């Protein structure tokens, strides 16, 4: 299919499932004609009604998830729940899964603000304050994932207090050694902390985000090649040598946001690096935060684009092919021990939706911050390529696009949707791609809603075996976040 025709198919045929959305487009019973879009523009009243419906559904999903997956006092989160048997798993959610809840709350708060600013204040008045309180509670109880350890990095040895993969029995006592903390988990928290800071203005969120940003940038490979250029890239975690799309791309937007927070302010930060003329000497200098964060945003973006953009125009999972192996190597310089570079020789693994989604968001934010046309061109190409690569028309339900849903792909897909939302001002087709998500969520909501929850496969449903209907709590959160992002899109278009 030619991509120039995708917008017509997506924005027309895919919206039939929702009663409100169906009113935006003319269709008929003939499937061959149902993909044609009316010449009339959607009415703002229809868009505003859809925004309200999306946000109501988002809030309902959030509240139901909090009810069945969580212990109310400590916010201990079970990983799975089965709506047929009404049983939740003994397995506890990881910090990444837990952070999906913060993501959903932030997205809803943005949607509530958009509606309130447009004059639709009922939902805002009913829910905003309680959700801000829930946000505070999420961050407070996240301390069950917090722990401390000493790390020898490329430029220093330092003790850090960061978030573990697994939840501990007591706050601050989580095991964060070795592979038990990863940089991408910190990056998702940084993104949400900065989003929460933008929503509430609470300084503590910004301070925590900057601390974690210092930690993950301490993982940036500052070692030099023979030509004096940095090797660059951030490994999956301090216990790994492979450098992943998911441990680089998610940081780009946050770095741009930090640049914008400190723009035209004199505040400084310590930049640690290796001299380009002396390939072993570690140095440090004080630089302005506004430059430091933007320079790193561009460096991370360029590293990922140079190394992981594949021939299909989307992003491969990681750089592997470790030489001589994937063990962490160290070197001693003037009696001080530092981490050494591990050469990586090939891009390997699958292309996942979220790795392209973070680069879409990063390109949009870098274009806004720098005005460079290249970022807009990158966003347009990646937008088209990613939808072509990841969306399959009619595979499971006629006139609906299937996105793979096995593994953790439901959450991954939500990051791609967020990328389309972030580039909507740059790409006229992005809003049409977003409607594929709208149609799938609405189809599931109207055909497969069970006990207030949605299945892992939105189009196929739950299956016949009631014992095999466990669904990830983070998927409920990503559905809530997706509905809230779509509400923001409709509110912006209507008002």
pLDDT at res. 40: 40
Distance CA 442, CA 484 (A): 13
Whole-number mean pLDDT of the chain? Answer: 91
Confidence at 471, pLDDT banded by 50, 70, 90: very high
Least confident of 44-53, 99-108, 126-135: 44-53
Percent of the chain with pLDDT over 70: 91
pLDDT category, 46, cuts 50, 70, 90? confident
> Using one digit for the tens of pLDDT, what is the confidence trace for 291-317?
999 999 999 999 999 999 999 999 999
For 489, the token pair is: 């899109």
CB-based contacts of 374, cutoff 8 Å, min separation 6? none
SS3 77: strand
What is the pLDDT at residue 35? Answer: 27
70-116 pLDDT tens trace = 999 999 999 999 999 999 999 999 999 999 999 999 999 999 999 99
Give me the count of residues in the chain. Answer: 495
CA atoms within 13 A on the CB side of 168: 19
pLDDT band at 45 (very low <50, low <70, confident <90, very high): low
Higher-pLDDT residue of 15, 320: 320
Indicate the pTM of the whole model.
Answer: 0.92
| Helical pair 353-370 and 289-308, crossing angle rounded to 10 deg | 140
Evaluate if residue 15 carries a pLDDT over 60. Answer: no
- DSSP H helices, 70-153, are 95-117, 122-141
Residue 39 banded pLDDT, cuts 50, 70, 90: very low
Determine the average pLDDT of the residues in 350-378: 98
The torsion of the CA quartet 376, 382, 385, 386, rounded to 10 degrees, works out to -140
């Amino acid at each position: 299919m030619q991509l120039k025709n995708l917008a017509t198919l997506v924005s027309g045929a895919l919206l039939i499932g929702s009663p409100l959305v169906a009113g935006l487009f003319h269709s008929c019973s003939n499937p061959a004609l149902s993909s044609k879009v009316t010449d009339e523009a959607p009415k703002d009243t229809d868009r505003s009604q859809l925004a309200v419906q999306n946000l109501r559904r988002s809030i309902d999903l959030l509240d139901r998830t909090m009810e069945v997956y969580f212990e109310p006092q400590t916010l201990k989160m079970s990983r799975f729940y089965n709506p047929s048997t009404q049983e939740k798993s003994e397995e506890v959610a990881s910090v990444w899964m837990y952070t999906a809840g913060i993501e959903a709350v932030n997205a809803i708060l943005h949607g509530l603000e958009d509606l309130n600013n447009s004059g639709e204040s009922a939902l805002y008045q009913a829910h905003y304050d309680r959700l801000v309180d829930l946000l505070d509670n999420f961050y407070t109880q996240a301390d069950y994932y917090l722990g401390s350890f000493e790390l020898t990095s490329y430029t220093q040895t330092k003790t850090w207090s960061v978030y573990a993969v697994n939840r501990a029995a007591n706050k601050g006592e989580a095991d964060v050694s070795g592979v038990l903390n990863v940089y991408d988990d910190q990056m998702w928290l940084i993104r949400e902390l900065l989003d929460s800071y933008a929503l509430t203005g609470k300084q503590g969120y910004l301070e925590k985000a900057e601390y974690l940003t210092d930690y993950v940038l301490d993982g940036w490979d500052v070692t030099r090649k023979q030509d004096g250029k940095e090797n660059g890239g951030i490994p999956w975690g301090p216990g790994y040598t492979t450098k992943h799309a998911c441990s680089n791309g998610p940081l780009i937007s946050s770095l741009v946001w930090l640049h914008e927070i400190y723009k035209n302010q004199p505040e400084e930060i310590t930049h640690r690096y290796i001299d380009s003329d002396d390939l072993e000497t570690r140095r440090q200098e004080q630089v302005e935060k506004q430059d430091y964060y933007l320079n790193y945003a561009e460096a991370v973006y360029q590293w990922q684009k140079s190394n992981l953009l594949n021939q299909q125009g989307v992003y491969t999972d990681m750089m592997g092919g470790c030489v001589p192996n994937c063990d962490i190597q160290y070197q001693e310089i003037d009696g001080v021990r530092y981490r050494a570079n591990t050469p990586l020789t090939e891009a390997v693994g699958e292309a996942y939706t979220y790795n392209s989604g973070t680069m879409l968001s990063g390109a949009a934010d870098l274009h806004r911050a720098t005005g460079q046309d290249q970022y807009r061109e990158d966003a347009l190409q990646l937008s088209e390529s990613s939808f072509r690569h990841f969306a399959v028309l009619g595979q499971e339900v006629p006139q609906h696009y299937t996105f793979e849903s096995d593994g953790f792909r439901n959450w991954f897909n939500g990051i791609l949707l967020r990328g389309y939302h972030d580039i909507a001002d740059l790409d006229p087709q992005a809003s049409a791609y977003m409607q594929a998500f709208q149609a799938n969520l609405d189809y599931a909501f109207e055909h497969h809603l069970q006990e207030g929850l949605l299945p892992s496969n939105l189009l196929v449903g739950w299956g016949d075996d009631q014992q095999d209907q466990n669904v990830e709590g983070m998927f409920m959160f990503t559905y809530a976040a997706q509905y809230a992002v779509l509400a923001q899109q409709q509110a912006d278009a209507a008002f």
